[in-house]
Structure 1
Amino acid sequence: MAGSTYGTLFTVTTWGESHGSALGAVVDGCPSGLSLCENDIQKYLDRRRPGQGKFTTARREKDTAEILSGVFEGRTTGTPISIIIRNNDQISRDYDTLKNCFRPGHADFTFDQKYGFRDYRGGGRSSGRETIGRVAAGAVACRLLESVGIRITAYTKSIGPISVPDGEYDFTQISENPLYMPSRSFSEEASAYLESCIKNQDSSGGIIECQIEGIPAGIGEPVFHKLDAALAQAVMSIGAVKGVEIGDGFRSALAKGSDNNDAFTFDGSRIRKRTNHSGGTLGGLSDGSTLIFRAAVKPTPSIARPQHTVTSDGKEIELSIHGRHDPVIVPRAVVVVEAMAALALADLLMINMSSRLENFTAFYYPKDSKERRP
């Protein structure tokens, strides 16, 4: 299988299947000397861990991170960082009835067409559980970004039709409710909506919003590797994500140029924008303001309500999916979006170090030293 590695200089390769022995990630290109321990990774894994409430799958996994290489005495060594998370609560027999049919909304049909063979136990490599490796690697990227003052905050903006208005965010509430919404009242309303979905044997989608503070201006590449494009590619690679917009996004198509353009001003110390319709990017490069984007997440395709499909030999059947499934993907996907944003940004920051000759010479010939750095 091609395509399990992401990044140019700061790279991550994920591996493993939903019902295999373990999953994990290998992070390469992380500089030496970064403070890192298993607890730094565990904090992120705990946010996507299953079995934590009525709106997540009942699958019970500890999702304990174990660092196998690349860290010594609490600091990265500059060599590949290998992280493993073992599976402990697979019930593969739940999928025996699905081995010869194609579940609506899943990758069963396309996977079978590509490879002529598939791991039907929970979707194998196409399962949402694959994202655990992304989160583990993203935790490393977040530690790297924190070292240069960049902070990422992702949260649930909406569940189905229940959306938190922009002016009513309370970020202190994000970790205080199971839906990771920045509002207690809207979280309660969304919970009631999900209860109705469960009662009707159905599921819901939603929108995840992400804000990134502290990015210096000029990050990204102006043509094919735009910051916008890198973020969209990273976030769209998450299986349940069906759309990404940055700044005003699709609302920009309804605006006039005089309204959509962000005026510049000088605040006495630096140039900044008065508004942020562009979402923190201009020409594919960061502009120094808050980077903001949203990801549309589809409803969980595994639902108990009967659905029409066919078997591998073309027989028409009605299918009801039973087992342990999330009625909504969004809350557990919040940290996955955060992780992928961190990976994209960490890679672009490292690439950006080669954009100016002064950066090159400053490293190899520091001004305060007459000797070349080894």
Structure 2
Amino acid sequence: MTRAQPARVLLIVGGGIAAYKSLELIRLLRARSVDVPCVMTDAAEQFVTPLSIQALSGEPVHRALFSLSEDSEIDHIALSRSADLLVVCPASANLLARMAAGIADDLATTVLLATDKPVLVAPAMNVRMWLHPATQANVALLKARGVRFVGPEDGGMACGEYGPGRLSEPAAILEAIVGLPKQPLKGRHVLVTAGPTREPIDPVRAITNHSSGRQGYAIAEVLAEAGARVTLVSGPTALPAPPGCTRIDVETAREMLAACESALPADAAICVAAVADWRVREASATKLKKRPDASPPTLTLEANPDILATLAAHIERPSLVIGFAAETGDVVREATAKRARKGCDWIVANDVSPGTTTFGGARNQVDVIDENGCEVWPELDKHAVARRLVARMVEWFASRKGQRI
């Protein structure tokens, strides 16, 4: 697949120890013949020098909002609009907060406020700063305005702590830059299921599982960034709706199936949700009492509808139906059998054995099984898994361009 790339990227280098990685990003972009004019914040100059940036980019570095020498060479409004894409790398918590508030108190924030071009942000900060509600609110606001994000990733930090907040590797940022200006799934409708289902036993108890919904929500977010119209049918989670997606909240497997069928037709369906296989045949309308002299109640279970198999056999079957298999033991063998049994096109298999962090964690290791066999992927951040899966979908649709699918 040929991917479009911007001819000119305005790189805004923020403060933080991760600023040194901006040098490698410049090198990677220049190797692809991309022009990379740069803006540096005052904080960035504490970690990398303007001379290093200029030597690699081959262009003057813009630093001051009010500079007689720079003003004589370039208009700052023109600077904000002269590039195909603006990239902020690294983006500190402070810089994200100023972007969200619309503050323009230095050259970097003035350029960001004045631009009419797409903006890609690569955050880097301490894990507690990233997880702070103020930062998360700023990120959600910026995403809602159309700002794209790559990372941050989980990992060790200069301060010695571990968790989300580590800057994505320059190669991953480059991949996001190269793919950003193009929306290869524009005009496509994709149905995604995510999270657990919750089957009531009585008004206070339920059959459910440990799924957090993170992988499905990441896939929905990346699909929307790729231009798809996304319907996200979600079981109970604590996650905010991904920007650009239509979210339908459900509780039970039967509600999820009904919502999925109502969302058809779709070009693709990705069943990521961990749907409960069974439900209580007759849920109690009142709380089942625990009494010292009584035995535990007997629960009669019955099978829930099979959402993946139903969509794969549906009269309005999407052209591409992808299932997820949460397995233990021989994961690939179980998932391969599941693909044949369900009638779907691809199965994304992951291991949920005790000791793994697939359920609830930020990372995932998957195997993708299709008619050609099994493709083993390395362990990745769940957003990286989403980006890789969506790229695979784009290639699949592109290979069938002009065909009836």
TM-score w.r.t. the length of structure 2 is 0.27
Structure of higher RCO (CA pairs closer than 8 Å, 6+ residues apart)? 1
Greater Rg over alpha carbons, structure: 2
